[in-house]
Amino acid sequence: MSAGSTRPVSPEPVGVGVTEIALVRHGETEWNRTGRIQGRTDIPLNETGRAQARAAAATLGGAWAASYSSSLGRAEETARIISDALGVGFAGTDQALVERAHGEVEGLRAPDRLARFPHGAPVPGYESDAEVVERALPALRRIASRHAGDRVVVVAHGGVIGALLRSLTGGAVPAPGQYAGNASVQTLHVHDDGAIRLVEAQLASRV
């Protein structure tokens, strides 16, 4: 495994009863580069982000059935770049995969956020992990059910991916201070009974 990679469980073979999802964070945007909180603001990829998407596709390789994304443009463009590189169809967007709402801190940089809302202070309009998981986990199950026994790419956002991984691992992944970097790839297995397991987390950004 590469640096920054964790493998929480032994992978089951993809096929009857198991669908693989490559859960990818979108590539870099200018707000990512300058440290601004994006949330639901629809900021497009920059050139680094497009290169990261191509690098993610090269990492994925192999045969995939389809790709999906959140309905925000940065995620959709990442998915389409990956689809083109892999030669698979882009199957559409899902509103349930959009980034976590950040409420009144959206658009701020970290120092400004802390100045307005010190650690532990509630942020009006901020979406909790539980709220994110409640909408995003069923979306993954819906996508998996359309491609049972196959492999699918799903492009989402750092806040969504972090909330999902914490839910799936009881808070073990990501570790405190870690997050899913731009165009990083997390491998999930979705079972026919609806159980979802994290097989491998590769949290580092694609360069």
Whether 157 is catalytic: no
Annotated binding site: 25-32, 74
Region of 103 please: left (phi>0), alpha (psi -120 to 50) or beta: left
Annotated binding site for substrate: 25-32, 74
| Set 20, 26, 77, 106: catalytic member | 26
| Set 20, 76, 77, 99: catalytic member | 99
Contacts 24+ apart (CB under 8 A), 144-150: 144/19, 144/21, 144/190, 146/66, 146/91, 147/19, 147/65, 147/66, 148/19, 148/192, 149/14, 149/15, 149/16, 149/17, 149/18, 149/19, 150/14, 150/19, 150/20, 150/64, 150/65
Q: How far apart are CA 196 and CA 130, in angstroms?
A: 16
Burial grade of 144 (CB within 10 A; 0-12, 13-18, 19 or more): buried
Whether 26 is catalytic: yes
Catalogue the active-site residues.
Answer: 26, 99
